Structure 1
Amino acid sequence: MEPPNPQPEEPPLWDELFTINLMPSELFVKFRKELEGIRFGFNFEFYNAPVNDYHAKLVLKPLSPERRWKFMYEPLHQDVRIISKKIPLTKFLNLQVGVGHNFQMNATGLKWKLTTCLGGDGVSRIFNKTTFGLCPGVDFRFGWRADYVLPEITGGLGTDEQLLFNMNSGRLQASLDRVEAILTHSDYR
């Protein structure tokens, strides 16, 4: 058994407690045309990490507030999908269901996804999207994430704890994961 170390470890430097990455791993350019209650879209999606990839998608969805679906076609991968809108199960939990067909593999399948703005172990990660309207018809959407460890105070007296009082400063790692440029043309009179 090792003797207790009377020297407390060095506290971390401030620049070790937080990191912020502003280089997005996803860049999207979306062209939208709104016509008689339907939005037609053409998306160019560029992925930087973990591998470089590119997707082009044609998207069709109704504009009504009670819209329940959207149709997507990926010509390069020959995928067709009909996806439900996110169905709220609780305040923080959503369900999305889709059915699709891949013409290259001649396969049809069903997909579902549970999503939340909280991720990781439930409370250590926050995902969010922020939209900024530059002018009518031009919007930018930023998808960002924050991983954090809350500060923690510990200590003990009369136990095998060496310190009466100890504080862990916590950590923050934030990143800008996605940048979307959305160009919309509307025929509203």
Structure 2
Amino acid sequence: MDPNSSVTTEEPASWDELYNIDLVPSELFLKFRKEVEGFRLGVNLEFYNSPINEFQTKLVLKPLSTERRWKFIYEPIHQDVRVLSKKIPLTKFLNLQVGIGHSFSLGATGWKWKLTSCLGGDGISRIRNKTSVGLCDGVDLRFGWRADYILPEITGALGTGEPLFNMNSGRLQASLDRVEAIFTHKNDE
């Protein structure tokens, strides 16, 4: 075969390369919540095992109202305090969140903004979502998952020099990124 030829004969990828599902989460969260007089006070213990092992603690205060517009977060290990807006829907799939914060260890104050979407990726399609399962009253599990995919495609041609039948089997890379155990104590009224 001529090395300058543009025709290459590649072996088809194995099924393991085309379809991969990773069920080992990179983030484990334990969330303890207490509802008091229209507010929810929470203590989050967050364990990260990828790319490096890290642990964070957060204290979270937010209103219980459905019109909740903010939440207050304090991170005692990093000595950071933040006030974040709720995610503001700009379109059906695009959200904006803004916040202001202060780092006591750095002596700095600043603000951040973030555009997020459950769709989109780099050159391929992506879905990111959270799924919640209520185990019993006051105990919930939430799973954060992601799926990067290219849909299968079947093509063909006749009289053009291209194959009569060609199939691209697509790709799927899915992962369970986060598992959260949420324990909520509600006051009996």
The TM-score with structure 1 as length reference comes to 0.91
> Structure 1 residues 62, 171: closer, same or farther in 2, change over 3 A?
same
Picking from 2, 5, 8, the partner of 2:5 is: 2
Q: Give me the whole-angstrom Cα distance separating, in 1, the residues matched to 2:120 and 2:59.
A: 29
RMSD between aligned residues: 1.9
Report % sequence identity: 73
Q: Secondary structure at the match of 1:118?
A: coil
Give the corresponding residue for 1:168: 168
Name structure 1 gaps, 5 residues minimum.
none
Cα distance change on mapping 1:72 and 1:158 into 2, 3 Å: same
CA distance in structure 2 between the aligned counterparts of 1:130 and 1:149, rounded to whole angstroms: 22
Residue 91 of structure 1: aligned partner: 92
Amino acid at match of 2:31: K
How many pairs are equivalent? 186
1: distance between equivalents of 2:51 and 2:12? 33
- CA deviation profile, 1:40-70 (whole Å, cap 9, x unmatched): 0000000011111110000000000001000
2:70 equivalent in structure 1: 69
Q: CA deviation at 1:153?
A: 2.5
Give distance in 1, aligned partners of 2:7 and 2:81. Answer: 63
State the 4+ residue runs in structure 1 displaced beyond 3 angstroms. Answer: 8-16, 154-161
Deviation, structure 1 residue 166: 1.1
Distance 1:20 1:3, change over 3 A: closer
Q: Structure 2: which amino acid aligns with 1:179?
A: V
User: What is the CA-CA distance between 1:4 and the residue it aligns to?
Assistant: 5.1
TM-score normalised over the length of structure 2: 0.91
Unaligned runs of 5+ in 2: none
